[in-house]
Amino acid sequence: MTDARLRHGRASLALSFFAQGLAFAILVTRIPALQRQYGMSDAVLPVFLAAVPILAGAGSFVAEAIAKRAGPAAVLRWSQPMVLLALLGVGAGREMWHVAVALGVFGLAVGMLDASMNMLGVSLQRAYGRSIMTGFHAAYSLGGIVGASLAWAGAHGELSLLALYLPVAGVLVPVVLVGSRWYVDAVDGGEGETAAAAKGAAFSFKLLLPLCMVMAFAYIGDSTVSNWSAKYLQDVLGSSEALATVPYNLYMVTTLLGRAVGDFGVRRFGAAAVVRGGAVVAAMGFGVVAAAPGAWAGMAGFTLLGLGLCVIVPQTFAAAGRMFPGASDRAVARLNVFNYVGFLVGSPLVGAIGDAWNYRGAMLVPMVLVLVTLVYARSFAAEGDRYGGGHERPRTVDVG
């Protein structure tokens, strides 16, 4: 395969990560408006919100089944427009059943999309012979920042959800469909699927389980920041309402910055060392947040969290691909489910501990969980994780 095709595939996949980050952020940051539009009670809203990651987990299994027959590029090519059209459906509906259907389609399609994007990312990284996976997740973070900014502008301008989502879908649907022409599917690093399977371990969920735990713990940490940072700063550290919105923005920006340079760290020091460092920095961040005497110290802790957590998720997907080179799509799909497990568990877990004890103590729980990543760090040290620096493989690959 030519370097030009690999570059085009990398750019088109980065565009998909960006579009997904934007779409997800512009939905979750307008949840209060969604609740008002459909007249949802505080008791009903959590049911809808919990249904999305549950359906996304099911979507990840659907992606595995389809990718086995048609390839992950086909899954991504059609699931991404589904996500964007479902987002438009959320904004256009008026009855409760409208939003139930739209969010159901959104959840199922998001699971297929997340799984297939990471399948292609792992495959492309294998073809490149060096770490590029964290860069794709940097594009996702950038999309999240853009989406959150658009949501803020929509709220400030008092736009309806439909008026906000219609131009987003109108622009992104044709863009991602055109970009999908350059997806690079079934890249096997030049070894062939049979040779890769013989070289690597046969797929085993037991072997994958440590990475699944790391993924869940990382998303428990992430959901703690997204769901509790504003409340923590205002209620525990006594900040103003305006200042309480800053920590999540800092977290998003430092996540983007950390991911922008994360691949260079992996090439220089190896994935295991980068993940260990990220876990330590993230744990320090939670520790600073828990002990913070005031709002500014708390914001420093959330800044550390972004720098620490940002590398763990993309490197966990990459590690699954290295662990099972002959079954990387299957491994990524199964691992992706634990993204949603962490997202689903994290916020209620911290809330329950905060209510039963206190919120400073609650911040110690994700701190301990992210430190458990150190126990599993050896799962990231598969042969060849230090791409480049004399270890880079040739980029000539076969396309199945």
Domains of the chain from N-terminus onward: 3-180 (1.20.1250.20), 200-380 (1.20.1250.20)
| 202 or 171, higher pLDDT | 171
Q: Which amino acid is at 77?
A: R
Identify the pLDDT of residue 1: 56
Confidence category of residue 355, pLDDT binned at 50, 70, 90: confident
Query: In Å, what is the CA distance from 335 to each residue of 32, 111, 216?
Result: 31, 11, 9
Exposed, middle or buried by CB within 10 Å (0-12, 13-18, 19+), for 113?
buried
pLDDT class of 227 with cuts at 50, 70, 90: confident
CB within 8 A of 68, min separation 6: which ones?
Answer: 329, 330
pLDDT, tens digit, for every residue of 183-192? Answer: 998 654 444 4
pLDDT of the residue at 231: 85
The model's pTM is: 0.89
φ, ψ of residue 399 to 5 degrees: the values are: -110, 125
